[in-house]
Homo-oligomer: A and B are copies of this chain.
């Protein structure tokens, strides 16, 4: 399949972060040419009044929970988890499939082309992924076998899942130890072993709440990241979600080990975690930061455009300083940084990259006026996911908004 996108405002996210008017030619899943292109194509999109940008990458969610939207508002994480574990116990694989379908539909309609998930039964979620055309980096959730509700051994289930999907085009299987308060040293190190054995990644909740940090310190005498370092768990294959309650010493450890971070500002704010992820110190220490919505129960949507705005504004507010974040920095989190973190050949509009592209309707008033110098600002600070007109994954139009 080939697509020619004509005359759009292209947000390249290339090394120079060029913004240009021009065309994009896509063939066989890849971006073949960017610039002034005149060729025949099966599909032609007139992007005259549109913004053409890399697909957004959501690096932390639990997509199957989307059908539970609104069941646990206005409570802190402890109460939240108590509600969730009770509700989830009632769910079967059919429910998980339908939840995932809804969440994936929401993501595609709001410009997300890849997502990182954490849940059990990821094989069912993989089915939903493959039916939709989105890219899923699916982390099979692992907790200690003493507390699991999974049939069999979670580590073995995860390994089986990874083995099954290790060569899949749209599903990249990860292993996902849930957190330090649900996984002991043995579970964590076995998870790491599996990830190494299959050359894949680990994703995990890390230092999300004060309670997590203080409980752990009380028990082990070390803060979570210090302890994870001590047991030899940290590596550049780890994508840690939340990472709210960290010391500078822990940030330096993350930096040394090349750990990647999924920042989840909306979920953190909604759950009232307090503090804020130390974004500025992470950037000063060259930690690779990406962005995730978390689930529709703690957000409550999967709109990465909105997530970008929350990320930018949270830190301005936290530091009493409007200059600590800017639109370009935040757009990087959601595109090129995430692609780098996942080792995905995407995240920018460049020749040879995977054709994961989002086209945004800029005729809607919230995108106007549109100029080269305010276009990235409009994307981060003004536009909604519902401005998305086309979502293209791997060179295929997987969503087109009518009207």
Contact = CB atoms under 8 A, between A and B. Distances in A.
Contacts of A103: 365
A377 B300 contact: yes
A306 B381 CA distance: 11
Given A300-B381, A323-B75, A270 B316 contact: yes
A73 B377 contact: yes
B365 A320 contact: no
A262 interface: no
A19 to B, nearest CB: 13
A365 B109 contact: yes
A312 B300 CA distance: 12
A235 interface: no
Number of copies: 2
A152 interface: no
A27 interface: no
B273 A70 contact: no
A327 B270 CA distance: 11
Interface string A307-325: 0011011101101111111
A79 B401 CA distance: 40
B382 A69 contact: yes
Interface in A372-393: 373-374, 377-378, 381-387
A364 interface: yes
A399 to B, nearest CB: 11
Contacts of A273: 317, 320
A369 interface: yes
Interface in A254-269: 266, 268-269
A245 B306 CA distance: 27
A110 interface: yes
A369 B271 contact: no
B323 A382 contact: no
Nearest to A316: B272
A294 interface: no
Contact of A321 (B272, B321, B381): B272
A301 B403 contact: no
Nearest to A381: B300
A400 B33 CA distance: 39
B323 A269 contact: no
A301 B302 CA distance: 19
A366 B384 CA distance: 12
Interface string A350-373: 000000000000001110110101
A314 B314 CA distance: 8
A374 B403 CA distance: 28
A110 B387 CA distance: 12
Interface of A: 66-67, 69-71, 73-76, 102-103, 105-106, 109-110, 266, 268-276, 296, 299-303, 306, 309-310, 312-314, 316-317, 319-327, 364-366, 368-369, 371, 373-374, 377-378, 381-387, 401-403
Closest 3 CB pairs of A and B: A403-B403, A70-B374, A274-B320
10 contacts: A69-B368, A69-B369, A70-B369, A75-B323, A272-B323, A301-B384, A306-B306, A364-B386, A384-B384, A401-B403
Given A70-B378, A306-B384, A364-B386, 18 more contacts: A66-B365, A67-B369, A69-B369, A70-B371, A70-B374, A73-B327, A75-B322, A109-B365, A269-B313, A269-B314, A271-B322, A272-B322, A274-B319, A299-B382, A300-B377, A300-B382, A301-B384, A303-B384
